[in-house]
């Protein structure tokens, strides 16, 4: 089982046996108010048994239109960084804390994240990644706990229940602050180094 502090604190957890069941369960989801404004559910993409998984915050406008995570400007920047390190996008699995776009790209509210986390938890159980890269504060806090802050934790490994978590900046933050690009790159390089070390 993966370490999701929030889900472990009294939230009901429903487990799905396979991808078909899980994907079916999210069709027409109306567990939170984001369903009213979304164009598409952005479920996740990539290799379904990837060793490395990336978790972002929630879909933006481009993702909402296309139904695919990280296809906008921030995603393109992230892809470039991964390509530079020799990691193809198709070889990782990419998902978000919430699967529907928050209006005006605001941070997902607690009730929205809580309603959606069961899907992500199932995705992690099915993918069985060795490493999860937490892209930004929303991913870090919802997965590891509210007490974790991205400024302090970024670039440092967190190990929980057999999964290694690497918190780093959200790619959108790199668009606003050039200095963060250097740290983001450094964190991804550490992910690659660690992966080479632990892969069998
Ligand atoms: N930002 C995210 O957190 N996720 C996406 O899919 C796109 C932008």
Contacts of 53 (CB under 8 A, 6+ apart): 92, 93, 94, 95, 123, 124, 127, 129, 131, 132, 133
Please, are residues 58 and 100 in contact by the beta-carbon 8 Å criterion? yes
200 C-alpha to center of ligand 1: Å?
Answer: 31
- Model confidence at 127: pLDDT above 70: yes
**Stretch 160-164: mean pLDDT, rounded?**
95
pLDDT at 160: 95
**Stretch 27-36: mean pLDDT, rounded?**
97
pTM: 0.95
**Stretch 130-143: mean pLDDT, rounded?**
98
54 lines ligand 1 (CB under 6 A): no
56 lines ligand 1 (CB under 6 A): yes
- Model confidence at 65: pLDDT above 50: yes
Grade residue 1 by pLDDT with cuts at 50, 70 and 90.
Answer: very low
Q: Domain boundaries in the chain?
A: 3-198
83 C-alpha to center of ligand 1: Å?
Answer: 18
18 C-alpha to center of ligand 1: Å?
Answer: 25
69 lines ligand 1 (CB under 6 A): yes
44 C-alpha to center of ligand 1: Å?
Answer: 11
17 C-alpha to center of ligand 1: Å?
Answer: 27
Please, are residues 174 and 184 in contact by the beta-carbon 8 Å criterion? yes
**Stretch 173-178: mean pLDDT, rounded?**
94
74 Cα nearest atom in ligand 1: 8
Question: What percentage of residues in the chain have a pLDDT greater than 70?
Answer: 94
The class (CATH top level) of 3-198 is alpha beta
108 lines ligand 1 (CB under 6 A): no
Please, are residues 174 and 180 in contact by the beta-carbon 8 Å criterion? yes
Report the chain's C-alpha Rg in angstroms: 16
pLDDT at 12: 76
**Stretch 103-131: mean pLDDT, rounded?**
97
């Amino acid at each position: 089982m993966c370490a999701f502090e929030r889900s472990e604190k009294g939230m009901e957890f429903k487990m799905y046996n396979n991808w078909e069941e899980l994907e079916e369960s999210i069709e027409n989801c109306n567990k939170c108010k984001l369903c009213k404004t979304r164009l598409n559910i952005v479920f996740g993409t990539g290799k379904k048994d990837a060793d490395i998984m990336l978790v972002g915050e929630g879909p933006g406008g481009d993702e909402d239109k296309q139904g695919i995570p990280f296809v906008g400007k921030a995603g393109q920047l992230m892809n470039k960084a991964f390509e530079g390190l020799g990691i193809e996008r198709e070889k990782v699995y990419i998902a978000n804390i919430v699967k529907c776009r928050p209006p005006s790209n605001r941070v997902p509210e607690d009730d929205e994240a809580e309603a959606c986390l069961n899907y992500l938890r199932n995705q992690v159980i099915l993918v069985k990644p060795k490493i999860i890269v937490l892209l930004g504060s929303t991913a870090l806090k919802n997965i590891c706990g509210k007490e974790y802050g991205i400024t302090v934790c970024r670039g440092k490994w967190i190990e929980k229940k057999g999964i290694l978590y690497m918190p780093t900046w959200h790619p959108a933050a790199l668009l606003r602050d050039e200095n963060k690009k250097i740290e983001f790159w450094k964190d991804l390089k550490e992910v690659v180094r660690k992966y080479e070390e632990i892969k069998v």
